[in-house]
Structure 1
């Protein structure tokens, strides 16, 4: 997966950086600390799919922070699009940043309006070339993908056996949840919660304090319907023997 450009903001910073979908969540947080000064355990990360919009979703909170758990989560899971925005909130009440008044930090802030006025930025280049969200067909394509998502999800039901194939190989499991997840996106997309037969997942059906389904530790994942193939996929018996192997 190629690196993508995103906007990183906090109460004191605003910049354009490149991140990799292959990073784990903890590594992303360490990178954000270098940019914002906010340590990983105090970070709440909000994702704005459209940088200039008020619509957002929380992709990570500091509730029950665990470095080990963050290392099991890949940035690709959050489907962060190019030139969207990651806003980092500092939850440490003793942080020096918490006590600063607006006028004290004004000189360090670069608003989205000010950034948009600059002529030598990637944002300006995308506007001039009508790329990404500036493409006249952007909304139409967005709605098309939404309808495709909904159509595929109609054939996926809770209790179905399923298979997920990605660069890591084949994973078999059972569908445990089908529905919207506002914390992942606010576009009305349908997500599929799967409990894998083996500990190849990223969670136990819990996202940011909300339990969508019950799964064993590191057996659960949330996926787009197009990633999930339902069918007669019997659960493998880990204790089964191979007659051709002694």
Structure 2
């Protein structure tokens, strides 16, 4: 008889990534080491890994934060040894990346614009090549990304269409992840606290304690469930059907006697 090893897989986390010049929602993996995380953050913010001080805001709109990585205490070895999972980063919290290099191009852009922008007309400011506006346009960020609005609109339409077939009480499983998580749908709808009601979200209570919460988001109860059994996911990640609870001790060996 074969022994089955049950391995807990940590799913990706939706977080808000901000800097003094950028803001976006991204997915990060608890399995990433710090070196990989910093490289990803560099692509988003333009800040070099060695100059990144990362602040974690458990509540995105709050002024309270903890420094999880300090550029003044930068060690290359630590980047390889530590992982995102070591920092207890909460879903839909905010990571703010501060540039500790006062001589970097981004720091210069930030410093120059705080005074000059208000002295120039919109047309004059738009013509400058050393402005934050020009930097965003060059890097195709925000409204300058030609695909952003189109992709965003398509995703919203897709989620809305899928959500129409999801109902509270339906048995389901989460797809497009490593491993398999099963449970029951507890909530389908918009959540103002997460994204000002822009997306449709599905609240799921898992059979096993593989969730991220107990149905509570930023102090507001969205649905009732057991601790560490709840999660909020996009509709396209949910498949409904006849999915009974998995038996972690069941054997899949057909030759078992």
1:94-121, Cα deviation, whole Å (9 max, x unpaired):
xxxxxxxxxxxxxxxx579549878468
Q: Counterpart of 1:234 in 2: which secondary structure?
A: coil
- Secondary structure at 1:156's aligned position in 2? coil
Structure-2 change in CA distance of 1:7 and 1:235 (3 Å): closer
Is the contact between residue 17 and residue 97 of structure 2 (CA under 8 Å) also seen in structure 1?
no
2:221 equivalent to 1:183: no
Q: Which moved more, 1:222-231 or 1:164-173?
A: 164-173
Change (3 A) 1:162 1:79: farther
CA RMSD of aligned residues (A): 4.7
1:219 maps to 2:229: yes
Matched residues in 1 for 2:157 and 2:151: separation?
Answer: 10
Aligned pair 1:159/2:160, yes or no? Answer: no
Instruction: Return the alpha-carbon distance in structure 1 between the equivalents of residues 229 and 29 of structure 2.
Output: 20
2:165 and 2:112 map into 1 onto residues whose CA distance is 42
Q: Give the TM-score, by structure 1 length.
A: 0.56
Distance 1:152 1:73, change over 3 A: farther
Q: What residue in structure 1 maps to residue 178 of structure 2?
A: 168
Q: Which position in structure 2 is the counterpart of 1:21? A: 28
Quote the Cα distance in structure 1 between the aligned partners of 2:205 and 2:17. 31
User: Residues 112 and 206 from structure 1, CA distance in 2 versus in 1: closer, same or farther, beyond 3 angstroms?
Assistant: farther
Q: Following the alignment from structure 2 to structure 1, what is the Cα–Cα distance between the partners of residues 241 and 132?
A: 45
Uncovered stretches (5+) of structure 1, i.e. residues with no partner: 9-13, 29-33, 47-57, 63-69, 89-109
- Decide which of 1, 7, 18 is 2:18's aligned counterpart: 7
Shift of 1:137: 4.8
- Offset from partner CA, 1:107-166 (integer Å, 9 cap, x none): xxx579549878468863440364553134533432222111111110110000111134
Which of 89, 92, 95 is equivalent to 1:78? 92
Residues 217 and 141 from structure 1, CA distance in 2 versus in 1: closer, same or farther, beyond 3 angstroms?
Answer: same
- 8 A contact 2:173–2:180 mirrored in 1: yes
The equivalent of 2:203 in structure 1 is 193
Higher helix share: 2
Q: TM-score, normalised by structure 2?
A: 0.54
- Work out the number of aligned pairs and report it: 186
Cα deviation digits, residues 158-202 of structure 1 (max 9, x gap): 000111134431101110111111111125211000011111110
Work out the CA distance in 1 between the residues paired with 2:237 and 2:222.
Answer: 19
Structure 2 vs 1, CA of residues 234 and 154 (structure 1 numbering), >3 Å: closer, same or farther?
Answer: same
Contact 1:158-1:177 within 8 A present in 2 as well: yes
Structure number with greater Rg is: 2
Q: Residue 195 of structure 2: SS of its match in structure 1?
A: coil
